[in-house]
Amino acid sequence: MGAATTALSDLTILQTGQDARLRLRQIAARLDSNRQHTRQVETILAAVRDQGDAALLDFTARFDGQRFAAQELMVPPEAIAKALVSLPSELRLALETAHGRIEAFHRQQRPSDIDMTGPYGERLQRRWRPMARAGLYIPGGRAAYPSTVLMNAVPAKVAGVEQVVMVTPPSKDGSVNPVVLAAAALAGVDRIYRVGGAQAIAAMAYGTETIPAVDVITGPGNVYVTMAKKAVYGAVAIDALAGPSEVLVIADETASPALVAADLLAQAEHDPLAAAIVLTTSDHLLSQLPSCLAQQLEEHPNPATSTRSLRDWGLAAKVDTLAEAVELANDFAPEHLELLVAQPDALLPGIRHAGAVFVGSETPEAVGDYLAGPNHTLPTSGTARFAGALGVETFMTNMSLIHYTHQALAATGQQVMAMAASEGLHSHGESVRRRLQKG
């Protein structure tokens, strides 16, 4: 079939790896910058920076339809506690299980300090310290994401952050989803504010009369939130610039077409810009996949988002070998990579770029989204080439400590002076020379 494509059940089917490579690059570049968004975000950031709560309340009324007074932005602590107590027992157990597993995994990430003695008695150290205040952005409004609360708040708490602040857009009635509040209570979030969008990012970056400035902002959001995080970076640290979600499935003849279809739809239902991709050596899978997708879409309670995602950014492609699939996956650097093959461990040594790898047919991406333990906040849009998952280190800084003795300075001082002279920095060398003369 060559470069020809067939849209069956809104999924592009390609028959060669070369065609797949070209299409994958198009998918990776699906988010181009938008100057109109940039101007809007810059206006919002400047207003909140300069006018504080007044601008924040104005934007909340304009974009969320909520006319709050400043003191109404913060969710009362008793409402947060009540949300946890009121949870249905089965859902509370699920959240507690997720919290426990996420916390246990992230405790293993705490970095160790370095304390070493050099050859001349000098003491050299590196110490890790938690940031004082972290700001979490949790998407809201039409949807609720308690898992995102846990994945952002737990590593902050494990890091030892003194105060964890959370912002989330209010729903149409001005409230915050009770399950989101319950997850925040479980994770130990200190303050929650009913505000979203670029204005919420500005408030956490610059501070207002009501919302304190933070040291780091984490959490996903829409294009306005992402662009706002990009703009405030430097005034505050950020985790990453999140793009739309994506999954790439590598499958062989042993993979179930129905399971592959389910995993693609699990990604496609996130967002119309989500990318759902399968690379397979199996003609049978390629032929059966469209009908499996069609059947599962018929059973889906909200198929519109998935259908649009598959139509615009879905891809199924035939490859000659699994090695070729791994090569294409490395080039794409997916957020999520599933290995639905007979011997998944054999592929792992060749995988260089992926946010998270789901190994074997019993490991759907959903377990990673909710409670496996590793963080679900992952690099998107090819950034897995140089970035990784959100972790405890995101909420920490490190500093170096250098304690020289006179013996150490005497042993290395001439080299320091030589290097300073080579760079034309006279006083650098002089600061060493004067100390050596003293001795």
State CA 288 to chain mean position distance. Answer: 33
Contact 186/96 with Cβ under 8 angstroms?
yes
Contact 202/48 with Cβ under 8 angstroms?
yes
336 is catalytic: yes
Q: Are strands 356-359 and 123-130 parallel, antiparallel or unpaired?
A: unpaired
Residue 224 is inside which H or E element, if any?
helix 223-232
Question: Pick the catalytic residue: 246, 269, 335, 338?
Answer: 335
Write out the two tokens for 398: 């490190």
- Cβ neighbors of 251 (< 8 A, separation 6 or more) are 260, 278, 279, 280, 281, 282, 285, 340, 341
Write out the two tokens for 412: 């290395």
Q: Identify the CA nearest to 182 among candidates 75, 80, 90.
A: 80
How far is the CA of 129 from the CAs of 110, 215, 366, in angstroms? 10, 13, 33
Residue found under tokens 């996956």: 329
Residue-by-residue DSSP string for 61-75: HHHH-----GGGSBP
Contact 344/256 with Cβ under 8 angstroms?
no
Integer-rounded Cα Rg, in Å, for the chain is 26
How many separate helices (H) and strands (E) can be counted in the chain? 16, 15
Question: Pick the catalytic residue: 99, 336, 353, 376?
Answer: 336
Sequence-ordered strand ranges (E) for 270-378: 275-280, 314-318, 336-340, 356-359
335 is catalytic: yes
Q: Are strands 133-137 and 246-251 parallel, antiparallel or unpaired?
A: unpaired
Write out the two tokens for 77: 């602590």
Q: Identify the CA nearest to 201 among candidates 243, 151, 152, 166.
A: 166
Could you give the residue numbers annotated as active site?
335-336
